[in-house]
Chains A and B, each alone.
Chain A
Amino acid sequence: MPDIKVTPLGAGQDVGRSCILVSIGGKNIMLDCGMHMGYNDDRRFPDFSYITQNGRLTEFLDCVIISHFHLDHCGALPYMSEMVGYDGPIYMTHPTKAICPILLEDFRKITVDKKGETNFFTSQMIKDCMKKVVPLNLHQTVQVDEELEIKAYYAGHVLGAAMVQIKVGSESVVYTGDYNMTPDRHLGAAWIDKCRPDLLISESTYATTIRDSKRCRERDFLKKVHETVERGGKVLIPVFALGRAQELCILLETFWERMNLKAPIYFSTGLTEKANHYYKLFITWTNQKIRKTFVQRNMFEFKHIKAFDRSYADNPGPMVVFATPGMLHAGQSLLIFKKWAGNEKNMVIMPGYCVQGTVGHKILNGQKKLEMEGRATLDVKLQVEYMSFSAHADAKGIMQLIRMAEPRNMLLVHGEAKKMEFLKDKIEQEFSISCYMPANGETTSIVTNPSVPVDISLNLLKREMALGGPLPDAKRPRTMHGTLIMKDNSLRLVSPEQALKELGLSEHQLRFTCRVQLHDPHSDNDTLGRIYTHLKSVLKTYSIQHVPDGTVIVESIVIKVTSSAEEPNLKVILLSWSYQTADSTATKKKKIQL
């Protein structure tokens, strides 16, 4: 029985280091290759030794697909391709291909240059890795090899985020990556056609959340920022350089303009300008409204948002700072946080999900004392706010995607086990399909039931459609008969007559004849005539012919009457029929017994 096997190396009942292995129709595909923000040791990367104990992965993988540029989806890529060893194709969209190496370089710098770690990938490795990337366009069908094809759909999570459909023969899997089902200020909503995959692998970050309206959340956010700034406090918004940052920038920019506010807004990394440039060049990946108006006004040219310098953090007075990274686990956002944490006038707004182990996660859980390096502790006095601005689908959105794609099976990744459990029950109830949620290293096997494609002769098909109509009729079932010829790799369904002809075989006629004697005073011809009339009256649905040469033909049954000169009244009726009509002959014969 054909099946599809799925093994998460990361993101199984967890968020972080997304890496999912899929085996379908003899092909092995790696979906995403991310790092875990919560760990600084080996656990940071997926355990590739699961694939093979010794050496390179090239011969074990047919392709690698990266859904978007967030490091928890691509952070382990240079490690995998250059340090473990993989030379096959890596697929990602154009924006991902553009932005991913920048974030990887950033990640490398923080890890190696700042933290002084060795045995990490180098800048050259990032470059070599990116050379293996094949760019994907939306909706383009990419033939990885003869059998394996992939197709990208818009996911709306960040610029260039994609969902992918993987297809081998008639079996298929859709992997969502991270996605968002509601359009926002700069991106559109995820969309997929009714492709009915055998398996849908979906993220489930917000498996139990049903978010209130976006408008409310935005108003709330602006109110909190505004109040803090009004009372002279500083607002820290830890973000990732690309993605939510642009969304919040657009939000604050328009608010500042409307309210005519003067407090400075800063963006912490040198990346901003570059980042905004990417958004301008990849404007076709943003939402309808921005695309429509970009010639007149480019939404990514900000007037109020300035570049941040480290010294500004100590400036007196209110300010708003966007700083990277988003989970307060390292870098500038953590530095600023340490400076501002002691003052209750200040505020930190966490606009996205925080992985376990990060400072972000700890303060969101209400921890008031943080242990820092070197045994120092940090008192958290500033206000901590959480606002879900992550562009992930909530429970409603996930259900909506299932309705869109109509999968036969469902598999959840990129979420917390407890929340997944809840969603899994809900999915199984509402759609009556199986839902799986394997842990890391655990393999799920899904039996598929592919139909067999066959070439049918057009003559046979047309004849059948003319006779039986396109749809089976429960009252008048009709069976079609044909001969399936299997030759080399082709399967052809033709009529039995054509099959004989094609295979160069002649038909072997098998006929039966039996004699029935009866007394009848009429002449031979009259007897036959009587038989004819009788048959006509009893076998109404059959075609019956009286041929002048002295035979009656009922379909393929031939009836003749003879008599001997001695006993003209003793008629011998010869009944002859072929093998193919034997069954029906039996019934007819009975009726002839006058």
Chain B
Amino acid sequence: MKLYCLSGHPTLPCNVLKFKSTTIMLDCGLDTTAALYFLPLPLVHSPRLSKLPGWVSKDGAVNLEKELKECSGRVFVDSQPEFCLPEKELLDLSTIDVILISNYHCMMALPYITEHTGFTGTVYATEPTLQIGRLLMEELVTFMERVPKAQAATCWKNKEIQRLLPGPLKDAVDVWSWRKCYSVQEVNSALSKVQLVGYSQKVELFGAVQVTPLSSGYSLGSSNWIIQSHYEKVSYVSGSSLLTTHPQPMEQSSLKNSDVLILTGLTQIPTANPDGMLGEFCSNLAMTIRAGGNVLVPCYSSGVIYDLLECLYQFMDSANLGSTPFYFISPVANSSLEFSQIFAEWLCQNKQSKVYLPEPPFPHAELIQTNKLKHYPSIHGDFSSEFRQPCVVFTGHPSLRFGDVVHFMELWGKSSLNTIIFTEPDFSYLDALAPYQPLAMKCVYCPIDTRLNFHQVSKLLKDIQPLHVVCPEPYTQPPPAQPHRSDLMLELQPPPMAYRRCSVLGLPFRRRYERIHLLPELARSLVPSEIKAGVSVATVSAVLQSKDNKHVLQPVPKPAPVPPSKKRKRVTEEPPEVLNPKPLLSGAVPLEPFLAMLHKNGITEVKVEETADGHILHLQTEDVLIQLEEDATHIICDNNEPLRTALRDLVLRFLQKL
């Protein structure tokens, strides 16, 4: 059993597990942080961005002014943003049988994997994961296609040139594997390969392996996976949460008794408490609005935004800000809000019980009804005429490189009355803001990451006791910025097996058994005998049938009855001989009882001679020698088959047969 690690990113994993003749990909996360090296894509022509100076090396030897622009001392690539894909060279992606998706953030690379690689397998995901994943992909595609860039910058990627570049660009790795966004066709084709599954549904893969998604508590439809055979169990824990937010709580007990637990997707901000961050978010928001400024919240279109809206729903009235409008701007804003209301089965108990009333599970339905929350597909159209300030705008993309958020950065960035509040933990907010410097707007960093922290995970592991833990390398050491915080790492016994991008790990497994079925007729014919107290054995002679990785033992077919002999005898070929071989023997033949037994069977003249290892019996009348030893019996008897058989049977009476 092997694990191929195609992504080193701890929260955007992509691993391939080879287990019992199946090849299973676990998640395919897309690392979008590469987009931070690029210039933002403005929706409306931005004079500021278009006037940025091109980059020329100090000695003037390298001139890339068409591809690279300088902004406040940092150099950005002026091209359509690109993303870092999972490694494609480590193994042949066309051999992948199935892809298991744990949550909608971890499937964004799916079209790169399933299209143009010869992939012919199936993707398994829950319904909310599929539907919301589709929305996020469509949003990404719309963001890109709305503002097409004529040129694609590639010169800077040349190794010789990249070496000479300044700042973070010089250190960017694997730049040749970066790709631009996929198309809607590719999204549709990739998602058509998804097979829906429900929590605790047992899915058989080729009869060899069973996979089961379990609720992971992180987002709508998010799941951990159990991959098991009858004897081995691998748990894949990815993006789990123990906090009470909108999704169904995490299912923990089914993770017990794992041989291997693959652990990814812990919190990216282990030092920030989500509840505290939420409080800070609200107070900063209120402060800005009261001062007459606007609040910009760059966020994904699904996930934490539902909790933010719910929290604000309660907070705004109590803070006397009930009349402040909220705007949610995204090509998929409406769909995301609508979809969130129809997945009752996947929500926490509290929200589920609302549906029985029947009421929508999320209070944002009420916000929309009372016109406090308005959603628009983009800043163009109705929004421009309807929007009032001061207001709160939720919009994407959190990288600040594309999407409607770019427009608000240009619009509001110059005023110190306005505030941008970062809630998504995926991007460094300083890097995200770099191309907008100098910036007058206030910046608040309130990352809300509900995924497991190190304290929670060590408690979880103590409860479920996996034999081995596999995790990304960063989890095995303290964060680089806080080298003394040994509490912010995994300390386990035995130590976890760490992986990085392109690692291939051999997982410590020894498969010993396989499940086989005895047909009822065969089972009935068995004759068990007790060897010791509580242990019985039976000799099984059967015909093996293996089909679709299922093994069955059938009784040995009886030879066809010889047809009644006809007058003209025909020489027919004898059916091949099926002989029952003799069982192995065990035990010892005790001297006195054996002599008694011989006596009983009419053999009376026996001369017994003691030897070093036992006895030699001379049956004088029959002229037969029998050597009796602890672990052996030797019958020396010339051409007297009936006698030999009789003696054999007498000996066998004292022995156990296996």
Contacts and interface: CB of A to CB of B under 8 A. Distances in A.
Interface stretch (A220-228, A336-344, A426-434, A445-453): A445-453
B582 A579 contact: yes
Given A284-B127, A458-B511, A514 B544 contact: no
A503 B537 CA distance: 10
A512 B639 CA distance: 11
A274 B358 CA distance: 7
B512 to A, nearest CB: 6
A510 interface: yes
B586 A505 contact: yes
A241 B651 CA distance: 82
Interface stretch (B29-37, B336-344, B395-403): B336-344
Given A458-B511, A507-B631, A484 B355 contact: no
B153 interface: no
A511 to B, nearest CB: 5
Nearest to B524: A452
A278 B355 CA distance: 8
B145 interface: no
Given A98-B356, A278-B358, A294-B338, A284 B544 contact: no
A442 interface: no
A477 B578 contact: yes
B585 interface: yes
A119 interface: no
Contacts of B256: none
A579 B528 contact: no
A294 B342 contact: yes
Chain A interface size, under 10 / 10 to 19 / 20 to 34 / 35 or more: 35 or more
A141 B201 contact: yes
Contact of A455 (B514, B528, B588, B638): B514
A500 B546 contact: no
Given A139-B201, A479-B580, A484 B537 contact: yes
B516 to A, nearest CB: 4
Given A477-B557, A486-B535, A579-B582, A452 B520 contact: yes
Interface string A310-351: 000000000000000000000000000000000000000000
B358 A461 contact: no
B536 A471 contact: no
B517 A507 contact: no
A485 B546 CA distance: 22
A135 B200 CA distance: 13
Contacts of B165: none
A283 B361 CA distance: 14
A477 B556 contact: yes
A25 interface: no
A506 interface: yes
A468 interface: yes
Interface in B467-500: none
B582 A295 contact: no
B586 A455 contact: no
Contacts of B335: 295
Interface stretch (A5-13, A60-68, A395-403, A489-497): A489-497
A140 B358 contact: no
A457 interface: yes
A457 B512 CA distance: 6
A505 B656 CA distance: 10
Interface in A461-487: 461, 464-465, 468, 470-472, 475-487
A508 B658 contact: no
A443 interface: no
A508 B587 CA distance: 6
A281 interface: yes
B537 A485 contact: yes
Contacts of A140: 198-201
Contacts of A499: 537, 584, 658
A241 to B, nearest CB: 13
Contacts of A488: 534
A508 B631 contact: yes
Interface stretch (B8-16, B178-186, B405-413, B547-555): B547-555
Main SS of chain A's interface residues? mixed
Chain B interface size, under 10 / 10 to 19 / 20 to 34 / 35 or more: 35 or more
Contacts of B635: 510-513
Interface in B499-525: 511-520, 523
Main SS of chain B's interface residues? mixed
B430 interface: no
B579 interface: yes
B631 A506 contact: yes
Contacts of A449: 520
A537 interface: no
B198 A477 contact: no
A88 B388 CA distance: 57
A63 to B, nearest CB: 16
Contacts of A142: 200
A234 interface: no
A141 B338 contact: no
A583 interface: yes
A455 B528 CA distance: 17
A108 interface: no
Contact of B658 (A141, A458, A483): A483
B546 A470 contact: yes
A54 interface: no
A85 B343 CA distance: 34
Given A295-B338, A507-B631, A94 B539 contact: no
B637 interface: yes
A451 B658 CA distance: 23
Interface in A20-64: none
A71 to B, nearest CB: 18
Contacts of A274: 358
A511 B632 contact: yes
Contacts of A580: 581-582, 584
A282 B344 contact: yes
A94 B344 contact: yes
Contacts of A483: 537-540, 658
A500 B584 contact: yes
Nearest to A475: B576
Contacts of B122: none
Contacts of A543: none
B637 A281 contact: no
B633 interface: yes
A551 interface: no
Contact of A453 (B231, B515, B538, B658): B515
Of A151, A579, A581, most B-chain CB atoms within 10 Å: A579
Contacts of B576: 475-477
A387 B3 CA distance: 60
Interface string A86-105: 00000000100110000000
A234 to B, nearest CB: 31
A483 B656 CA distance: 13
B532 A277 contact: no
A512 B547 contact: no
B634 to A, nearest CB: 5
B48 interface: no
A499 B656 CA distance: 12
Contacts of A514: 636-639, 644
A7 B339 CA distance: 43
Contacts of A492: 513
Contacts of B148: none
B360 interface: yes
A486 B528 contact: yes
Of B355, B588, B639, most A-chain CB atoms within 10 Å: B355
Given A141-B212, A450-B520, A510-B585, 10 more contacts: A135-B345, A140-B199, A480-B542, A481-B540, A481-B541, A499-B658, A507-B631, A508-B631, A511-B632, A513-B634
- 6 interchain residue pairs of minimum CB distance: A509-B632, A470-B546, A451-B517, A505-B586, A456-B516, A455-B513
16 contacts: A141-B201, A281-B344, A284-B345, A449-B520, A481-B581, A482-B540, A493-B540, A496-B583, A503-B532, A509-B633, A510-B633, A510-B655, A516-B638, A579-B582, A580-B584, A586-B641
